[in-house]
Chain A
């Protein structure tokens, strides 16, 4: 099966930037996504990037994709306490019928 890996924990100080990393193994991904999950809640789509792009910026969020290294990152600028959550990367792969493969999740803690 597809392996999507993330580091488990990240702590940053309020106001600093956070960078959450994700690596994957299947090179036939079409889109890659970042989701946010707050405690006891479902997943909220934050942003996505098409696999032939290498960067996408959306307000405080910057997604970088290195397709050669199969590495995806999410940078959150000016991190706030409300950003504390678990962040999942996910990829959709061509010809899998809209199936997503999720990373292991990174728990982000923002220290006031």
Chain B
């Protein structure tokens, strides 16, 4: 149980276009989902925390108008990279939060590799 999917797994786009990445919790409901960005050989940088039915909370330095997050249901959150530029190329990972036995857990999607030409 507790499977999280991401779609697409890879995307290549031209500079100036927008790209939408979906994150789904397949067999559980997630009130909270998280979006991370990972640079090569680097740790995960939390971009934003997404709560179902409310606005996302963005970390300092993350442009909310560039990285649009929508969490319309308890099983789906989307990240849209608007007007993408080559510096937005990265590995984007989502996770879905779940409380189990009083412990907070995060279950991670497999990631989306974005390349902006």
Interface residues of A (CB under 8 A from B): 30-31, 35, 40-45, 48, 50, 88, 92, 97-100, 102-105, 107
Interface size on B, residues (CB 8 A): 25
Q: How far is the CA of A30 from the CA of B95 in the complex (A)?
A: 19
Whether A42 and B104, one on each chain, are in contact in the complex, defined by CB atoms closer than 8 angstroms, is no
Whether B110 and A99, one on each chain, are in contact in the complex, defined by CB atoms closer than 8 angstroms, is no
- Given contacts A92-B104, A97-B32, A107-B41, list 11 more A-B pairs with CB under 8 A: A31-B103, A31-B104, A40-B111, A40-B113, A42-B4, A42-B110, A43-B44, A43-B93, A45-B107, A48-B105, A50-B103
Dominant secondary structure at the B interface: strand
Which B residues touch A99, using CB under 8 A?
34, 46, 49
Known: A88-B43, A105-B42. A98 touches B110 (CB 8 A): no
The yes or no answer to B89 lying at the interface (CB within 8 A) is: no
Which A residues touch B32, using CB under 8 A?
97-98
Q: Can you report 9 A-B residue pairs in the complex whose CB atoms are below 8 A from each other? A: A40-B91, A40-B113, A41-B111, A42-B6, A43-B108, A88-B44, A100-B104, A102-B44, A105-B42
